[in-house]
Structure 1
Amino acid sequence: MMVKEIVLGKMKAYEIPEQVVGIIEKSELSSVASTPLRFRSPLNLLIVNMCKGNTCVTGDAFHPMTPNLSQGGCSALEDGVMLARYLEKALCGGINGEGKYRRESSNWFLRLVSDRVLAGFMAKRLLIAANFDCDKL
């Protein structure tokens, strides 16, 4: 089965608006791509070296996320702000910001995991409280 047919089938199965489906139907096959989602454990970030010489890996290249986490854009903004902050310090103050950036960006997964675990725990508690049977009102 061709990639375009797979994409169209999935779009129709999920009741995507016809205008959007029409765009894919009219597109050239070479412009439609499909790539499987992959999960990389945040714990891997503890053992990888993200900087080598004057090259530093950031964003999705360093910590890809599946869309269901709803964190990709936020992480990209955080990476950009941290990198800009340390580049400014390195350019204006002559300090080496690489080590600080490496440490700070490797701690993002602790915030992500703790936020997700805490959010899940709190959501479960709130749902239990909201699911109270009031009988007939």
Structure 2
Amino acid sequence: MIEIDEIDREILRALRRDARVKTTELGRRLGLSQPQAWRRINRLEEAGVIRGRRLILDREKLGFGVTVFLGVKLALKGRVSLSDFERAVAAIPEVQTVEHVLGLYDYRLRVVARDIADFERILRRRIMTLPGAGDVEANVLLSEERLEGPIG
């Protein structure tokens, strides 16, 4: 477990807002030199606190206007390995996330599609043909507000 102080938390908050911020600018904001800021970021990366930096794309501007959350219950537990299902679902480009969950369903998927007709095609031809796929429940995303998680 890595010790994280308030300066580390401020660095994480700044990088969460803009992962492209230069260490010179970050250091200036926090009263650190550029090398001090770089060393702190590097330490957080090496400890696995920072696991990567992402490019966030606007799905709608790319033509994907529908997002659906699917609950998928496996029909043949024990006869289909979870890794087979996970490997097959991860190969579907429209599936953005695959989460193995406890509850009524075994998996929660985030699926993007161009429109409802496109989603129906993805559901029928790709998701329902996955090894072990059983009951499915779909919830169409109406709006989304991104809430930032805790930094401690």
Shorter-chain TM-score: what band? under 0.3
TM-score in terms of structure 1 length: 0.26
Of structures 1 and 2, the larger Rg is shown by 1
